[in-house]
Amino acid sequence: MLVVRTIADLREALRPARREEASIGFVPTMGALHHGHEALMERARTECDVVVLSIFVNPTQFNDPTDLERYPRTEEADVAIAEKNGVDFVFMPSAEEMYRPGSTIEVRLDGPLVDSLEGAHRGSDHFHGVTTVVTKLFNIVQPEVAYFGQKDAQQALVIRALVRELDMPVRIDVVQTVREDDGLAMSSRNIHVKGRDRERALGLKAALDEAQSAYDGGERDAAALTERAVAAMKPFEVVPEYLAIVDRVTLQPVETVEPGALVVIAAPVGPVRLIDNTVIKDTAQLTRSA
């Protein structure tokens, strides 16, 4: 495995793979790697000839400087995890390498995909930062496939829209959320959730489970189902910033819940802000199929 820190070095390192027309899989991350990232690496290793993983804490997608400062950085451990999972190249550029002095480039999408939910609460500049850095990374790596986690469902939709609008020859593969044994969605921020807050964090999963349970019990009204999901968080002393049931493609709110609807949630827990989601399933149909 090779660790590279400049764009020129990565392009040079990938030159033989391009010459041989090898397929390149790309896993973009901000580091602090966990089992969720490992699932992305495993998928990439299975499907592609060459796997590139990037580690870059992108400053342009943080609306809170304190959040940027506190974001965990575990470079040595990350490199070991990447090597263990068969990554070929780890790209770890500096902010100055990615955004040269005087750079004014910004790649923006407009509309509900970037203005709603996370965009409404963190500001649409968050997603403008994401789309800018992803565009740059795709141009640098030029992968056939890029891998993202379902936990960041809105981000995955934004990136799919970006690829579609700019006609990028990249397939976006979204991998199912990986969870801790108790159900908490794995996140690099979980390192800051300790003690009682760690127990409280399970309120997000409890809300998602209650949404599915309410649907299984026959509830189809989105407002009523949302109310039950929010109530499930009260024993954990967690109040959501938002809990919404939306179309899983457009992110528009739905009034009647059907299989495939996306339940999304964000909530502050102690010193961090956590997000999670689930797709409503027709469990009766799944049982019949089994």
Active site residues: 37
Residue in 4, 7, 6, 2 with CA at minimum distance from that of residue 139: 7
- CA 216 – CA 218 distance, rounded (Å): 5
Answer yes or no: is 145 a known binding residue.
no
150 annotated binding-site participant: yes
How many angstroms separate the CA atoms of 143 and 135, rounded? 12
187 is in an annotated binding site: yes
Q: Would the annotation count 252 as a binding residue? A: no
What beta strand segments (E) does the chain contain? 2-4, 24-29, 50-55, 89-91, 145-149, 171-175, 242-246, 262-269, 272-279
Q: Was 30 annotated as part of a binding site? A: yes
- Which two three-digit tokens encode residue 262? 């996306």
Residue position matching structure tokens 């809105």: 154
Crossing angle for the helix pair 75-84 and 35-47, to the nearest 10 degrees: 40
With CA atoms as reference, report the closest residue to 58 among 67, 72, 45, 68. 68
Q: How far apart are CA 151 and CA 175, in angstroms?
A: 9
195 is in an annotated binding site: no
128 in a known ligand binding site = no
- On whether 212 is known to bind a ligand per the annotation, the reply is no
Instruction: Confirm or deny that 151 is annotated as ligand binding.
Output: yes
Name every residue whose Cβ is closer than 8 Å to that of residue 142 and which is 6 or more positions away in sequence. Answer: 14, 18, 24
CA proximity to 209, closest of 189, 236, 190, 187: 236
Tell whether residue 61 is among the known ligand binding residues.
Answer: yes
152 is in an annotated binding site: yes
52 is in an annotated binding site: no
| Spatial CB neighbours of 233, under 8 Å, sequence gap ≥ 6 | 203, 204, 206, 207, 239, 240, 267
* 34 annotated to bind ligand: yes
Binding-site residue positions for (R)-pantoate: 61, 155
Residue set of the binding site: 30-37, 61, 149-152, 155, 178, 186-189
- Residues annotated as binding site for ATP? 30-37, 149-152, 178, 186-189
Residues of the binding site for beta-alanine: 61
